[in-house]
Amino acid sequence: MKTAFEILKQANDEHFALGAFNCANIETLKAITQAAANLKAPVILEASDGEINYMGYEQMVSLKRIYEKQVGIPIILNLDHGKDFDSCKRAIEAGFDYVHLDGGKMEFEDNVAMATEVVKLAHEHGIPVEGEMDHIEGSSADHTTEDPKNLQNEKLFTDPDRAEEFVRRTGIDVFASFIGNLHGLYADQKHLKMDLLTKIKEKLPNTWLSLHGGSGTDSNDVVNAIKLGIVKVNVNSELRIAFKMTLQEVLNASDEIAVYKIMDKPIKEVQRVVEGKIKLFGTAGKAA
């Protein structure tokens, strides 16, 4: 099976983006891996500190390996928004394939120091590190009463020169850019600042770029961002909502108490969302 480094390189060379799908239960895991298998698409399966605390580090690693073997498609397991060195170390030592250190709320120098340490450890284990220096606003939830523009303060977006310094001093492999992307679903589709993405890529020609906040983002913007160099798009809220809403409908319509018997619909609905994203990101067939 290809490594995370090899798949990121393939995405960069062939201009597609890996969907990075959050997962905090076995149903979502099944939906993501089934979508990947159906479309022969490599995927990133990811979990934040909170999601992993629920699932378990070793459990996530074992499940990922079992499903990867079963479907025969590369599945990269990522720690999403690891909050500090210890969190990344825990994931690396448990067998994760990729870690994201979210230093977005740290002082720049502290973030540089911590990211440098994470890179050292991760590279000893042969896995890539994603770094973040601007706090990407929002949360993976339903904010559909809010206007996304209220959170899109351009003064807080990525400064390309600072991004160049951050990457040069830390040695991170993937940079999480803040170009108008927000976590969560809002009243309007989110739009991205393409000219800023172009400038970031010019400053970082040899660094892979990621896009957080993949839910509810204008599809044309996503496709154009991938053309400009985004190789990873994170998606969480749309999966959470698909799962919860469908489960709620099924529960309201059924007296069944053997819960495994009612999980088929929520799984299928999450799978449908994941397949749509995989097609949009141009990843279908890339594991063939």
Q: Which is nearer to ligand 13P, 201 or 212 (CB)?
A: 212
Q: Which is nearer to ligand 13P, 87 or 140 (CB)?
A: 140
H/E element, 184? strand 183-186
What does the block give as tokens for 129?
Answer: 């590190």
Q: Which is nearer to ligand 13P, 183 or 201 (CB)?
A: 183
Q: Has 134 been labeled as part of a binding site?
A: no
Q: Has 81 been labeled as part of a binding site?
A: yes
Measured CA distances, 211 to 208, 220, 228 (Å): 10, 14, 12
Is position 134 annotated as part of the catalytic site? no
Single out the catalytic residue among 80, 134, 173, 221.
80
Burial class (CB in 10 A: 0-12, 13-18, 19+), 164: middle
Q: Which is nearer to ligand 13P, 215 or 283 (CB)?
A: 215
Q: Has 102 been labeled as part of a binding site?
A: yes
Give me the least distance between CB of 223 and ligand 13P, in Å please: 17
Give me the residues that bind ligand 13P (CB under 6 A), please: 22, 80-81, 140, 183-184, 212-215, 234-238
What does the block give as tokens for 160?
Answer: 């390309």
Give me the least distance between CB of 212 and ligand 13P, in Å please: 3
- For tokens 């800023």, what's the residue? 196
Q: Has 132 been labeled as part of a binding site?
A: yes
Q: Which is nearer to ligand 13P, 213 or 229 (CB)?
A: 213
Cα angle, residue 194 at apex, residues 188 and 199 outer, rounded to 5°: 145
Burial class (CB in 10 A: 0-12, 13-18, 19+), 265: middle
Q: Has 13 been labeled as part of a binding site?
A: no
DSSP string, 80-145: EEE-SHHHHHHHHHHT-SEEEEE-TTS-HHHHHHHHHHHHHHHHHTT--EEEE-S---EEEEEETT
Give me the least distance between CB of 166 and ligand 13P, in Å please: 18
Residue 230 forms beta bridges with which residues? 209
Q: Maximum distance among all alpha carbons in the chain? A: 59
What does the block give as tokens for 168?
Answer: 């040069």
Give me the least distance between CB of 72 and ligand 13P, in Å please: 26
Give me the least distance between CB of 277 and ligand 13P, in Å please: 9
Residue numbers belonging to the annotated binding site for Zn(2+): 81, 102, 132, 183, 212
Active site residues: 80
User: Which residue numbers belong to the known binding site?
Assistant: 81, 102, 132, 183, 212
